[in-house]
Homo-oligomer: A and B are copies of this chain.
Amino acid sequence: MIHLKALGKIMGALMFLIGVLMLPAVFISWIYGEDSSPIVISAAISLSIGLIFYFSFAKYDQLIRKREGYLVVTLSWLIMTIFGMLPFFLSDHVHTISDAVFETVSGLTTTGASILTDIEAMPKGLLFWRSMTQWIGGLGIIVLTVAIFPLLGIGGSELFVAESPGPTSDKVHPRISETAKRLWYIYVGLTVAATMLYWAGGMAFYDAINHSLTTMATGGFSTKNASMAFYDSAFIQYVAIIFMFLAGTNFTLIYFGLVGKFSRIVKSDEFKAYAGAVVLLTLIVFTGILMHSDYSGELAFRKAAFQVVSIITTTGFVTDDYTQYGMGITFICFMMLFLGGSAGSTAGSIKFVRHMVFLKNSWLEFKRIVHPRAIVPLIINGEMVSGRIINNIMNFLLIYLSTFVIGSLTISVLGYDLETSLGAVATCLGNVGPAIGKVGPVDNFAFFSPAAKNVLSFLMLLGRLELFTILILFTPFFWRAN
């Protein structure tokens, strides 16, 4: 039996927290003299329903077990969506529930795909809430990755935590572990640093805060229609490149860097792969830009580095339309939607450690074929990876690709062309933002039908929660387990 009532208290606390997190947006509405009522009402609803839930279920204070853990995670994201969409829905700027859900899910999952056609026409308070949804999503994914997923056995995430997450227990207590707290400090600190640097580079303070919130979340929502292309400043764009790269780095490694333990960074196979891929792909795209456009020198290099770091880290800011660099570069950018940054960062998609397990395992498979009796271990970050985790990660990869295919089929059946379907699904599932076809870097998602938007919203959630968390709820094993 699932102890549903034990979840009520947690969900109440979460609703209350959402209400609290809306207050800065209310404050910004006031500063700019806007009609603050949509956000005020939303905050009031969240706070009051949150309190009612919290105290109604306070008596059911049972321990949350592993099985309820899956439900807690999925329900948390659903509840954040339901309450987080209220400011959009109550405003005059988003007209349907599908649109409000899409924009909110795109925020909370740090995807950054948008149904807004004129962002600069939106009230500043609402846009700030929009940026906040990404930053909150980023906070959430840090807890999940270091404190929850390893306990739930999701997608080989035991591998992701560079530091031991402590003794594994079958009980998931809803406290935030020490590790998660430490990483939050880094997240907050980097957000403040990015704000200062964006501001120093000439961004308005309001825009600097918004962009730093969505940079650190690898979210990619911008307050400008042209995204980062609006800022014709090398300084601002390099700041964005550096902070996107950091946001896509395993936060535990950043912590080790800050406390001077550089040996841990050097030993990380995933960091080397991540950094190496960024360098290599930047050079490839740089070459493509030199060949297929009028840009040259530093500008061409910056455009290459920006686009590559933005896509690999699944941030999704753009400073140029990469589909203009020829078919080869377009294809490479499309493929990068499947890379993802490092595990233990706010980046989405597949992530480097999984690709490494696949590549190493495939390579070693040839050794196993030649030497059928030999034991051929797979080593990542200096430690042997168990067959169980390898199998789990191979499954993850294949389920990810199957979801991509089934999702693309669904969107194409709803009446969209192949390129647009593949692009929209890849970018939503990978929580990136821009893609190819009719959802290229300079397009938006407004034209999709409500049905297509709902499918894409579901895919964003599925990707963000590492597939298994949600999919397991659809299996009998979850409901029948003792």
Question: Is A387 located at the chain interface by the 8 A CB criterion?
Answer: yes
**Beta-carbon contact of B153 and A405 below 8 Å:** no
**Beta-carbon contact of B328 and A370 below 8 Å:** no
In angstroms, Cα B152 to Cα A418, docked, is: 39
A366's nearest neighbour on chain B, judged by CB, is B475
Question: Is A390 located at the chain interface by the 8 A CB criterion?
Answer: yes
Contacts A365-B391, A365-B395, A395-B362 given; does A477 touch B371 at CB 8 Å: yes
Question: Is A4 located at the chain interface by the 8 A CB criterion?
Answer: no
Contacts A327-B418, A409-B328 given; does A365 touch B390 at CB 8 Å: no
In angstroms, Cα B70 to Cα A480, docked, is: 48
Question: Is A67 located at the chain interface by the 8 A CB criterion?
Answer: yes
A409 to chain B, nearest CB (A): 5
**Beta-carbon contact of A366 and B468 below 8 Å:** yes
A426 to chain B, nearest CB (A): 12
Question: Is A471 located at the chain interface by the 8 A CB criterion?
Answer: yes
Question: Is A361 located at the chain interface by the 8 A CB criterion?
Answer: yes
Question: What sequence of 0s and 1s flags, for each residue 465-482 of chain A, a beta carbon within 8 Å of any chain B beta carbon?
Answer: 000100110010110010
A416 to chain B, nearest CB (A): 7
A423's nearest neighbour on chain B, judged by CB, is B418
A479's nearest neighbour on chain B, judged by CB, is B370
State which of A88-96, A128-136, A258-266, A396-404 sits at the interface with chain B.
A396-404
A411 to chain B, nearest CB (A): 9
Interchain CB contact (< 8 A) of A327 among B390, B413, B478 = B413
Which residues of B lie under 8 Å from residue A391 when comparing CB positions?
361, 365, 387, 390-391, 394
**Beta-carbon contact of A412 and B369 below 8 Å:** no
In angstroms, Cα B152 to Cα A409, docked, is: 37
Which residues of B lie under 8 Å from residue A381 when comparing CB positions?
none
Q: Can you list 29 A-B contacts with CB-CB less than 8 angstroms, sorted by A residue number?
A: A152-B369, A153-B369, A327-B413, A328-B409, A328-B413, A331-B408, A331-B409, A331-B412, A331-B413, A331-B421, A332-B409, A335-B405, A335-B409, A361-B391, A362-B395, A362-B398, A365-B391, A365-B392, A366-B477, A367-B475, A368-B388, A369-B468, A371-B477, A387-B391, A394-B394, A401-B401, A418-B418, A418-B436, A419-B419
Further 5 A-B residue pairs, CB within 8 A, beyond A365-B395, A387-B387? A366-B472, A367-B477, A371-B477, A391-B394, A418-B436
